[in-house]
Amino acid sequence: MNNTDKEAVALEYGKYSTPVVSAKGEAELAEIIIQEAKRQGIYIAEDPKLLAALAQLDIEDEIPEELFTAVAIILSWAYWLKEMEPGDEKKVDSRKKKKFKVRGQV
C-alpha cells in the first residue's frame, strides 16, 4: 500500500455515550491523523472492513448501531493495552495535573 492508498478514521469516545467520528482522511491527511494518534499514545487498529464502513460517516457522526460490536472490540482492546477500564479516561489524576502560576496584580 503506498501513501496515496492510505485512509484513516479517528473515533472519539468518553465524552459521548456512543463513539463519534472525530477525524477522517485519505493519503496525506490519513498519514497526519495516524502520526498524531501515535504522538498522543493512541492505539491504532487496522481493520479494512470496519474502516470502509466508518469512512462512509461524516465527522461528528455517531457510529451506527450495526457497528457497535466491531467498535466495542477495538475499544476493549485499546483499554486492555492501556490497563484501563471504561470511564478511567474521565478521571483526573492529580499527579498529572498541570499547575500554572499567574503573575500579575491582585
pLDDT at 89: 65
Domain that holds residue 31: 3-90
59 and 23 Cβ atoms separated by less than 8 Å? yes
pLDDT of res. 105: 35
Close Cβ partners of 28 (under 8 Å, ≥ 6 residues apart) = 3
**What pLDDT, on a 0 to 100 scale, did the predictor assign at position 59?**
96
**Would 16 be classed as within a structural domain?**
yes
Ordered per-residue pLDDT tens for the chain, 106 residues: 444 589 999 999 878 889 999 999 999 999 999 999 999 888 899 999 999 999 999 999 999 999 999 999 988 887 777 777 766 666 655 444 433 333 433 3
- Please give the model's pTM, rounded to 2 decimal places: 0.72
CATH code, domain with 79: 3.40.1690.10
Tell me whether residue 59 is in a domain: yes
